[in-house]
Structure 1
Amino acid sequence: MEELLRGFIKDFESFHGEFHDFRDNVNERLEKLESGNKQLTKSQKRMQSDYENLNQNQQRLESSFEQLNQNQQRLESGFEQLNQNQQRLESGFEQLNQNHQRLESGFEQLNQNHQRLESGFEQLNQGQQRFEKDMAGVKEDVRLIKHDMSIILSDVTFTRKVAEKTDLRQQQMETDLDLLFEKTNANERTTRRIEARLNA
């Protein structure tokens, strides 16, 4: 009987030790599980934060693309304006060439009239001996020459005024072109900054 009691006590002690080991093992696993849950919660929070950051970056990217499209439209409009100004400038140069041709024609007419004037003075010198007889004819010739000179001077004055107006228009066109180039350069710099941000 005593041996049975000792065996029972021994078995109970053995079972009690195994039970403590089992409880410790369960507690250790529960602690690991709780730690894993905390890590999972942290990971979920990080994923949520990353997802929100991703949405913000996507919105910024869409905004950047929209700004890039607007800048591209402005640049296309600037190039269109540049083409229009170039056409106006070419038209201005064409008008300037026409005025130059008119001016050359006026100078040619002036030279012809000058030659006529010299010829008239030569005839006047040759007809000095017939001065009294031919005075009336000479006065008429002089009057006609003065009339021609007045017309020529009027043409020259008109041509100069046209040339001055053309110069003013050309200067205005050059100023417009300079402003357009400045705007185009500014748009290009803005586009480069956006591309740099996108590439970064």
Structure 2
Amino acid sequence: MDNMSITNTPTSNDACLSIVHSLMCHRQGGESETFAKRAIESLVKKLKEKKDELDSLITAITTNGAHPSKCVTIQRTLDGRLQVAGRKGFPHVIYARLWRWPDLHKNELKHVKYCQYAFDLKCDSVCVNPYHYERVVSPGIDLSGLTLQSNAPSRFGQRNDTRAGNTWSINQNTIKRYTVKRSAPTPAPIPPYLSSIKYDGEG
């Protein structure tokens, strides 16, 4: 028996339709079925001549990243974006949304150290293996429903983080961060009874 019949997981030697069907079963549902199918079909066709990379993609997706996998690369376009079903987007973001984070923003991805063709490395090829990227939550993202236990807000509804130079505004379990400019502290007036005192080193 071959691998397909034993585990229902295809290999690069199987037909594109079988591979696409298997990979569709692991999508996260953020995109329409039509868009997801077009995006996956496009990727599988690009990888059909690179069987080792196609096998790496299949392994990564069907095991949810449980096993180490190699870079899965496609050719970088002139503007860095990929067009699928009339829409343009960064390829690593498109496939990370399909298989990992459906609500992902394009500036929230950071590649893992062992990824050799990460998008931001500006290589001629771009790695679109979703498990070669980590999500970094953007400042100011809506974290509705977050339960605050320690660092509870003050009665004024704000907590100042002086180390980071930020104010966290807390309202109805939504946390937003914005940068505040600090002005120089105003020196306290010298009491009259101290104004005549001279210190060491003064004339």
TM-score by length of 2: 0.14
Higher RCO by CA contacts (8 Å cutoff, separation 6 or greater): 1
Larger radius of gyration: 1
Q: Which has the higher helix share?
A: 1
Q: Which has the higher strand share?
A: 2
